[in-house]
Amino acid sequence: MALVRPTSYLDYIKDIAIPEIGDSHNNEDLDRICNKYQFDTLIHISNKFQIPQFADLAVRYNIKRVIMISSTYGLKQGDIYNNEMMDKENYAAKLFEEHNIEYIFLRPTAVYGTRPDGVPDRNISVFTKYIKKLPLFPLFGGGKATVSPVTGREVGRALYTCLTKFDELKGQRLIVAGPTMTFKELIIKLGKENSKKVRFIYFPRWFGKFIFYSLYYVSFTKCDYREKYDRLV
């Protein structure tokens, strides 16, 4: 069974799963579906910030196996201040262990590519948009930070592997990553894919930090790109 939005493109799943229309944020929809079906396995691939909600659902309906898409946000490195994803993972893992629920967390790096309905993914595609619009692409710290972008199809293969080899992989938090490259190399690659020669303008790392932290305070905390910038560099 697949929980889908009313606007979801169903052609690629209707022959392999039973679509149920609903809102993953709506506990009434989730309760209705869980009462209708007797699940033994829950695969969560919607918003990663809903991990605690789906962990509670698994406990409530005594679901025995859970595979959850999380994020490399959960990896605290350097001066990245916000580790909310790790808190959510730890909350869910504690619940699962207390109720004898077996689990796997999958942490994809930045996902890129086009979804089956033709809509670009919202992560790396943001940079593609800037490449197309800006005459000069800003690079902070020389663009030397390494990234390992992964396609949605590769994340799907990882989910399938977790499901078919669950007993071998259970209890782990696994990273799904593509080939490692510098951020500058990624932007050049995206430019080539969109037939655009990218020209760069370089800024020191401290200057970007000054800009985004200033924006946070000037906007009275409404525009908060600090954690994204910290991860990017």
Beta-bridge partners for 26: none
Outline where DSSP puts E strands in 70-134: 102-108, 111-112
Angle at 64 between CA 46 and CA 67, to 5 degrees: 30
* Lowest-pLDDT choice from 9-13, 15-19, 109-113, 155-159: 109-113
Which residue bears the tokens 């655009």?
196
72-83 pLDDT, tens per residue?
865 655 544 456
> Residue 151: what pLDDT?
85
What is the DSSP track for 122-173? Answer: SSTHHHHHHHHH-SSEEEEGGG-SEE--EEHHHHHHHHHHHHHTHHHHTT-E
Please give the Cα distance from 20 to 230 (Å, whole number): 39
Q: Provide, rounded to the nearest whole percent, the portion of the chain with pLDDT above 70.
A: 91
Is pLDDT larger for residue 86 or for residue 17?
A: 17
Angle at 17 between CA 174 and CA 64, to 5 degrees: 50
Which residue bears the tokens 């595979």?
67
Question: How much is the average pLDDT of 168-193?
Answer: 94
Alpha-carbon torsion (178, 182, 187, 190), positive or negative: negative
What number of residues does the chain have? 233
Q: Which helix (DSSP H) or strand (DSSP E) does residue 206 occupy?
A: helix 205-218
> Residue 105: what pLDDT?
96
Please give the Cα distance from 11 to 27 (Å, whole number): 26
Quick check: 194 pLDDT over 70?
Answer: yes
Alpha-carbon torsion (51, 56, 57, 58), positive or negative: positive
93-118 pLDDT, tens per residue?
999 999 999 999 999 988 877 665 56
Alpha-carbon torsion (128, 152, 23, 16), positive or negative: positive
Question: What is residue 120's DSSP assignment?
Answer: B
* Lowest-pLDDT choice from 25-29, 81-85, 109-113, 206-210: 81-85
Quick check: 192 pLDDT over 90?
Answer: yes
> Residue 77: what pLDDT?
53
SS3 42: strand
Q: Cβ distance 36 to 60 under 8 Å?
A: no
Contacts of 62 (CB under 8 A, 6+ apart): 99
SS3 20: strand
Please give the Cα distance from 93 to 89 (Å, whole number): 6
* Cβ count within 10 A of residue 69: 21
Question: How much is the average pLDDT of 20-29?
Answer: 93
> Residue 116: what pLDDT?
57
> Residue 84: what pLDDT?
77
Please give the Cα distance from 161 to 172 (Å, whole number): 13
> Residue 169: what pLDDT?
98
